[in-house]
Amino acid sequence: MAAATVTLCPICNAENPAAASSCGTCGAPLSGDPSSAFSGALPPGTKLQGGVYSIGKVLGQGGFGITYLSGDIRARRAVAIKEFFPYGSTRRGANVHPFGGLSAADYATTRTKFLDEARILARFDHPSIVDVYGTFEENNTAYMVMELLRGKSLGQLVDERGPLPEREAVGYVEQVGEALEVVHATSLLHRDLKPDNIMLTDDGNAVLIDFGTARTFAAGKTGRMTTMVTPGYAPLEQYGQSVRFGPFTDVYALGATLYHALTGQMPATATDRASGVELASPR
């Protein structure tokens, strides 16, 4: 193609016809303002690892990180990159700095755990667990390079359609339950299972995503974990630090997710239920 008839994708650098609105290789939009209002996010076009990866728009931001639509320039494919960015962190230039309540030592320890557990995830090969391609450190933080999934979250589906038929909702939850069995067999907990972290792909798979808060556990033992709570889905033990965690922690959240899918409503929080608040029947 002549130079005047092509548009380069800002994400994966693939050539596209000048009239194209989205990239034929990765699907990224080729026009419009890619900036976002997400706090502390890297600007679109930022290059990482010496130009191997190109950062695009923000896909989401949680308590422990920011996920970007990104391009793997060498492989010429779109990927999702999660940046370790604990809530309250600041950015000076491209470098990430922890907030005042998190010491430099604790920040470094938590960042190392983020990398260690991402490497565990990279060993999984399961249709309902997001593929992790690799990890790296840069900008005083860590990054996880993942499969980019096309589709919508279970949360989005329920928002659009309301309560789902029982067979459909149970089908999604069964797929995620099978994925959790694989995850728990490696002594890993997801810790943030909720409708927004289950991606329903265009080919019909329910895929568990966003392992940025995953942590290892010792069966039957009390341990300390950074407090991570999504009200309605987090069990009572996640409201403390030095308590017993286990597969049941994620199973509670999976049950709460099924309740949401069947009712269209977030269930009562674990603390409210412990004080006597009852759940309304799904049907």
| pLDDT tens per residue, range 166-214 | 999 999 999 999 999 999 998 888 888 999 999 999 988 999 988 766 6
Among 103, 128, 147, identify where a domain stops: 147
**Can you give the pLDDT at residue 224?**
47
- Asked if residue 157 and residue 139 are part of one domain, the reply reads no
Average pLDDT of span 265-279: 89
Are 208 and 145 within 8 A, CB to CB?
no
- Residue 264 to residue 162: CA distance in whole angstroms: 5
Give the pLDDT confidence of 95-151 residue by residue, as tens digits.
999 876 678 888 898 899 889 878 888 889 999 999 999 999 999 999 999 999 989
| Domain assignment of residue 79, yes or no | yes
Is 69 in the same domain as 40? yes
Model confidence at 8: pLDDT above 70? no
Is 8 part of a structural domain of the chain? no
From the list 9, 31, 126, 174, the residue with the least C-alpha distance to 78 is 9
Bigger pLDDT: 121 vs 165: 165
Pairing state between β 77-84 and 141-147: antiparallel
Q: Are 106 and 191 within one domain? A: no
Indicate which CATH number applies to the domain containing 82.
3.30.200.20
Residue 191 has φ and ψ, to the nearest 5°, of: 75, -5
Residues 140 and 180 in one domain: no
Please confirm, yes or no, whether 131 is among the known catalytic residues: no
Whole-number Å distance between alpha carbons of 10 and 23: 9
Let me know whether 91 and 169 are in one domain.
no
Neighbours of 192 (CB within 10 A): 24
Q: What is the C-alpha end-to-end distance of the chain, expressed in Å?
A: 59
Q: What are phi and psi of 73, to 5 degrees?
A: -65, -40
**Co-location of 143 and 186 in the same domain:** no
Domain range enclosing 126: 18-147
- Largest distance between two CA atoms of the chain: 70
Beta strands in the chain (DSSP E): 6-8, 15-17, 47-48, 53-61, 65-72, 77-84, 90-92, 95-97, 132-138, 141-147, 151-153, 188-189, 198-201, 206-208, 215-216, 222-224, 242-244
φ, ψ of residue 263 to 5 degrees: the values are -110, -20
Taking the C-alpha atoms of residue 87 and residue 230, their distance in angstroms, rounded to an integer, is 14
List 131, 192, 196, 210, catalytic entry: 192
Q: Are residues 38 and 50 in the same domain?
A: yes
**Is residue 281, in this structure, part of any structural domain at all?**
no
Mean pLDDT of 42-70: 92
CATH assignment at residue 245? 1.10.510.10
User: Looking at the domain assignment, is residue 99 inside a domain?
Assistant: yes
Domain boundary among the residues 115, 147, 179 is at 147
Domain shared by 136 and 51, yes or no:
yes
User: How many whole angstroms separate alpha carbon 233 and alpha carbon 226?
Assistant: 17
Is the per-residue pLDDT at 216 higher than 60?
A: yes
Question: Number of structural domains, the chain?
Answer: 2
Q: What's the mean pLDDT in 203-228?
A: 66
Q: Which of 127, 147, 167 is the last residue of a domain?
A: 147
